[in-house]
Amino acid sequence: MAKVIMFTLVGLALAFFKNHQSSYQKRFNAFREIVPVDLPKCNLVKGIDTGAEDLEILPNGLAFLSTGLKYPGIKSFEPNKPGKILLMDLNEEDPAVLELEIKGSNLDLSSFNPHGISTFTDEDGAVYLLVVNHPALDSTVEVFKFQEEEKSLLHLKTITHELLPSVNDIAAVGPESFYATNDHYFVDPYLRSWEIYLGIAWSYVVYYSPDEVHVVAEGFDFANGISISHDGKYVYIAELLAHKIHVYEKHANWTLTLLKSLDFNTLVDNISVDPATGDLWVGCHPNGMKIFFYDAKSPPGSEVLRIQNILTEEPQVTVVYAENGTVLQGTTVASVYKGKLLIGTVFHRALYCEL
């Protein structure tokens, strides 16, 4: 009898892990092959070889990029060098990147590890850059003021909060206010790897301001990119391992109500909103196994989606660019400016294409 119970338990445990293994493979899109989709004129951006995890383009064509991310389980080609914020002027014919100097700061630059970034422009035209930072794998949000003349960033403030333990991306709504995605619940690396393996989906989204901080959405299987529509009425959230983009209505009191969710066959990372059309541009990982378990012989590929008319009954989804990793590995973000597309990656290069 004891033996029967024993075998039953072993059987149950095996079934449990088998189920989880198949759900894990599905969530990581382990078997997805890439069908290439090319753009006619693309150039690699000179000076970017260790990632451009996030980028944001201002209406005047100046682009900020975060580079040099160190993130548990993800490849880095320069694991011992601090990250940087780069600037690119997309009005130039062949734009070069320039490292922005960080000033006025008690910020430890040797452990600077920038991840998601977002800008806020106030009514006087002052530009604030909010940067998710992981010094020693901690999680902070750094507030900078952009000094255009000097091409520098003045560090103003470091924000930490118990509801911001593992921030991935932010969408700024003020110089010190933002929505932020926490991409996992557990901070302990061991518990966190189980959280990701089992797909516990405890990742959540927070609204932060100096006066109030609260959870505005929860239950995500790795909440990743977040972006706001230009009219400020909607918030878009990418749920990486569920392959979904959620559309929320944003209320005056900053709470969110879910309107709809779209399904994809790829791991959706960053969302940027097209300033001219309101379309969503999404950097994606077609095969998540390759991004989380890097193998130079079989590198992760890249995929960029464009979603038109997301608020209507029938949004159109187009694969604008897809590549097997020979040129570009691990896309996270794509953003447009005047008929051109700037594509960033977690740890690899950046590509600038004509549309």
Ligand X SMILES: *[C@@H]1O[C@H](CO)[C@@H](O)[C@H](O)[C@H]1NC(C)=O
**Residue ranges for the binding site for Ca(2+)?**
53-54, 117, 168-169, 224, 269-270
Q: Which residue among 166, 182, 224, 287 contacts ligand X (CB under 6 A)?
A: 224
Residue 117 engages ligand X in binding (rule: CB under 6 A): yes
Residue 287 near ligand X by CB under 6 A: no
Q: Which of 112, 332, 342, 348 binds ligand X (CB under 6 A)?
A: 332
169 binds ligand X (CB under 6 A): yes
Q: Residue 62 forms beta bridges with which residues?
A: 89
Which residue in the set 255, 265, 277, 316 belongs to the binding site for ligand X (CB under 6 A)? 255
Binding-site entries: 53-54, 117, 168-169, 224, 269-270
The CB-of-224 to ligand X minimum distance in angstroms stands at 5
Among 50, 272, 302, 329, contact with ligand X (rule: CB under 6 A) = 272
Which residues from 58-87 bind ligand X, rule CB under 6 A? Answer: none
**Tokens 């079934």 label which residue?**
15
Bridge-based pairing of strands 351-354 and 340-345 is antiparallel
251 scored as a contact of ligand X (CB under 6 A): yes
Q: How far is the CB of 305 from ligand X (least distance, A)?
A: 13
Question: Can you tell me which of 269, 289, 322, 352 binds ligand X, judged by CB under 6 A?
Answer: 269
How far apart are the C-alpha atoms of 81 and 69, rounded to whole Å?
A: 10
CA distance 56 to 61: 10
135 phi, psi to nearest 5 deg: -70, 130
Per DSSP bridges, beta strands 101-103 and 152-159 are parallel
The residue count for binding ligand X (CB under 6 A) is: 26
118 binds ligand X (CB under 6 A): yes
With binding defined as CB under 6 A, does residue 227 bind ligand X? Answer: yes
Task: Reply yes or no on whether 115 is catalytic.
Answer: yes
Exactly one of 187, 233, 326, 338 binds ligand X (CB under 6 A); that residue is: 326
Pick the catalytic residue: 20, 115, 214, 251? 115
**Applying CB under 6 A, does 113 fall inside the site for ligand X?**
no
Q: By CB under 6 A, is residue 210 in contact with ligand X?
A: no
Residue 225 as a binder of ligand X (CB under 6 A): the answer is yes
Work out which of 36, 72, 210, 219 binds ligand X, going by CB under 6 A: 36
Residue among 8 and 277 whose Cβ is closer to ligand X: 277
- Describe the strand order of the beta sheet including 267-273 as a list of residue ranges: 267-273, 280-285, 302-308, 316-323
- The answer to whether the Cα torsion of 347, 203, 26, 280 is positive or negative is negative
Cα distances (Å, whole numbers) of residue 1 to 6, 10, 15: 8, 14, 21
* Residue 88 makes contact with ligand X by CB under 6 A: no
Residues forming contacts to ligand X in the complex (CB under 6 A) are 36, 53-54, 56, 115-118, 132, 168-169, 224-225, 227, 251, 253, 255, 269-272, 324, 326, 332-333, 335
Which residues participate in catalysis according to the annotation?
Answer: 115
